[in-house]
A and B are shown apart, each in its own frame.
Chain A
Amino acid sequence: MLIRRPRRSDVKPSEITSESIYRRRREFMKAAGTIAAGSLLAPQWLFSRTLDDLEQLRDLGELKPSPYSTDESPNSFSDITTYNNFYEYGFGKDDPARHAPGLLRVEPWSVEVTGECEKPGTYAFEDLVKPHRLEERIYRFRCVEAWSMVIPWVGIPMVNVLKRFQPTSRARYVEFVTLMDPEQMPAQRRPSLPWPYREGLRIDEAMHPLSIFAVGVYGKEMPAQNGAPIRLVVPWKYGFKSSKSLVKIRFTEEQPLNTWQQITPEEYGFYANVNPEVDHPRWSQARERRVGSFFRQSTQMFNGYREEVAHLYRGMDLRSREYW
């Protein structure tokens, strides 16, 4: 086998302008002109950017590998970007891929930090992410609907980011709020869920080294349909806990009410740890279908992260409704 060692002087593939972008240079100039003119009227649109095309996703550069990554083979980029639950764009698994890229404006983006912390404020996405080294985390992802994937996320440990806000001793939980903007998320025009989507974690769960703020997949920035530009990934919990397109972080003393618990408390709880022994009231959680395979496989306790996270729940009866 011929192994080609890159020389220092070589142009890296990531530096080459892709053909599709090159061909669209006139379009780009036109758009730039329009934006410049438009900015005189509405300055907030100056840097507005959507992710119309998956090929346009920027490369995130060198990533730090992580010992938390699984060696299971990841699902394809196409699986990950065409089979999504993102009800802000509709109920179908293919709705997010069809609608999110052209509508979600990821630039500019900022996250508001409030509640029990010393450094509240509004942080630009860049300022939030820049101080940290991006890591690749290849995690199992298990949906409450009993399907699963393996996803090579790019992200930063949540703990490193949250610590910068200096949560006070009263911060026992963290609430995460997704963007609310029917212009960008058309399904929010219907009251199918009480928008905006809310999720929450106990502070020690949020500070656990497995919890990350993900900003990309497969070494590229986050596709719109996966919750661009920044989302949670909490791999030992059902997927709905890993909420997308984060705009607000709130430190609180009381346990926040997450959206699914709010609409169907008899089916969803706050913790939502992956647990093959506790069934969803309507279906079994003992087995799951890994997207891409026809048959089902056994679901693992805490989605296979038992060793890392079981201590967080010592003394709690995970079968009791209180701790679903």
Chain B
Amino acid sequence: MVRGLLLAKIGVFLLCLIPLVIMGSAVVTGAAGPNPVEYLSHETGQWGLRLLLLTLAVSPLRRLTGWAWLIRFRRMLGLFAFFYVCCHFLVFAVFDHSLGLPSILEDIVKRPYILVGTLAFLLLIPLAITSTNSMMRRLGRRWKALHRFSYLIAALAVLHFFMLVKVDTREPLIYAGVLAALLLLRLRPGQWLARRTASRREVQKEA
């Protein structure tokens, strides 16, 4: 059993590396197109966001399916989300600003979409740091409260995406939809539905 879990973890780890491998080879072979930096920036950002949403989907999925083992992969997914977001920030810092701190700071302060994105990135750092078992033990109940920030971070990330598109909002809308669904699931749909039907009945009565 333990051995199976270890193998599965290695499998998920390798799966999470696939986007990175694809990106690297696309840049090397030229498949990334004439503007590889833009390609890297978009891909790392999108994979960060996708993995973040996937991380948030773990516990509702576990509840819906009853597969308790899903939780074993949540930390790795979350850390990979953090990894791709770090890459995303690095692309920005290295290629857009040649690592010039004043110009990075100026961009963050002046551009709301960059500010929102940076905020999401900074908020992810304490979550990554406190992801170890010993930190979980040490923080106890506060750990859960702290890690609820991941919903806020995902919302900031979707907002960041929304704010930078010119006219085509379809893609950020999809992510917003997924996030909204996850938030709704968090409200325990069973209870929520029960409450809603109850209140509907009341409304009907009043009418």
Binding site for B on A (CB under 8 A): 75, 78-79, 82-83, 87, 91, 93-94, 145, 147, 192-193, 263-264, 279, 282-284, 287, 289, 291-292, 294-296
Flag if A296 contacts B95 (CB, 8 Å): yes
- Convert B92-134 into 0s and 1s, putting 1 for each residue whose CB lies closer than 8 angstroms to a CB of A: 0001111000000001001111000000000000000000000
**Of B34, B98, B167, B168, which contacts A292 at CB under 8 A?**
B34
Nearest 10 Cβ contacts at the A-B interface:
A83-B34, A79-B34, A91-B168, A291-B34, A291-B35, A294-B95, A294-B37, A295-B98, A192-B167, A283-B111
Flag if B107 contacts A295 (CB, 8 Å): no
**Of A82, A193, A296, which contacts B167 at CB under 8 A?**
A193
Complex alpha-carbon distance, A79 and B37, angstroms: 14
**Of A284, A291, A296, which contacts B111 at CB under 8 A?**
A284
Complex alpha-carbon distance, A296 and B97, angstroms: 8
- For B91, give the chain A residue with the smallest CB separation: A294
Give the contacts of B12-46 with A (CB-CB under 8 A). 33-38
Flag if A284 contacts B34 (CB, 8 Å): no
Complex alpha-carbon distance, A270 and B97, angstroms: 30
Flag if A83 contacts B110 (CB, 8 Å): no
- Distance to closest chain A CB from B197 (angstroms): 38
Flag if B167 contacts A294 (CB, 8 Å): no
Complex alpha-carbon distance, A147 and B33, angstroms: 14
CB neighbours (8 Å) of A279 from chain B are: 110
- Distance to closest chain A CB from B103 (angstroms): 9
CB neighbours (8 Å) of B113 from chain A are: 282
Complex alpha-carbon distance, A193 and B168, angstroms: 10
- For A85, give the chain B residue with the smallest CB separation: B166
Complex alpha-carbon distance, A295 and B111, angstroms: 20
CB neighbours (8 Å) of B97 from chain A are: 296
Is B163 located at the chain interface by the 8 A CB criterion? yes
Q: How large is the interface on B (under 10, 10 to 19, 20 to 34, 35 or more residues)?
A: 20 to 34
Flag if A192 contacts B95 (CB, 8 Å): no
**Of B35, B36, B98, B163, which contacts A282 at CB under 8 A?**
B163
- For A267, give the chain B residue with the smallest CB separation: B166
Additional A-B contacts beyond A82-B33, A289-B38, A295-B98 (13; CB < 8 A): A82-B34, A91-B167, A93-B33, A147-B38, A192-B167, A282-B112, A282-B113, A283-B164, A284-B110, A287-B96, A291-B35, A292-B34, A296-B98
- Convert B166-191 into 0s and 1s, putting 1 for each residue whose CB lies closer than 8 angstroms to a CB of A: 11100000000000000000000000
Flag if B167 contacts A289 (CB, 8 Å): no
CB neighbours (8 Å) of B34 from chain A are: 75, 78-79, 82-83, 291-292
- Distance to closest chain B CB from A289 (angstroms): 6
Complex alpha-carbon distance, A296 and B113, angstroms: 20
* 6 contacts across the A-B interface (CB closer than 8 A): A93-B35, A192-B168, A283-B164, A284-B107, A289-B95, A296-B97
CB neighbours (8 Å) of B110 from chain A are: 279, 284
CB neighbours (8 Å) of A283 from chain B are: 111, 164
CB neighbours (8 Å) of B112 from chain A are: 282
- Distance to closest chain B CB from A297 (angstroms): 10
Complex alpha-carbon distance, A173 and B81, angstroms: 52
- Distance to closest chain B CB from A217 (angstroms): 14
Flag if A282 contacts B38 (CB, 8 Å): no
Flag if B33 contacts A282 (CB, 8 Å): no
- For B106, give the chain A residue with the smallest CB separation: A284
- Distance to closest chain A CB from B171 (angstroms): 9
Complex alpha-carbon distance, A113 and B96, angstroms: 44
Complex alpha-carbon distance, A298 and B163, angstroms: 25
CB neighbours (8 Å) of A192 from chain B are: 167-168
- Distance to closest chain B CB from A93 (angstroms): 7
Flag if A289 contacts B33 (CB, 8 Å): no
- For A293, give the chain B residue with the smallest CB separation: B37
Complex alpha-carbon distance, A283 and B33, angstroms: 23
Complex alpha-carbon distance, A246 and B66, angstroms: 61
- Distance to closest chain B CB from A161 (angstroms): 31
Complex alpha-carbon distance, A141 and B33, angstroms: 18
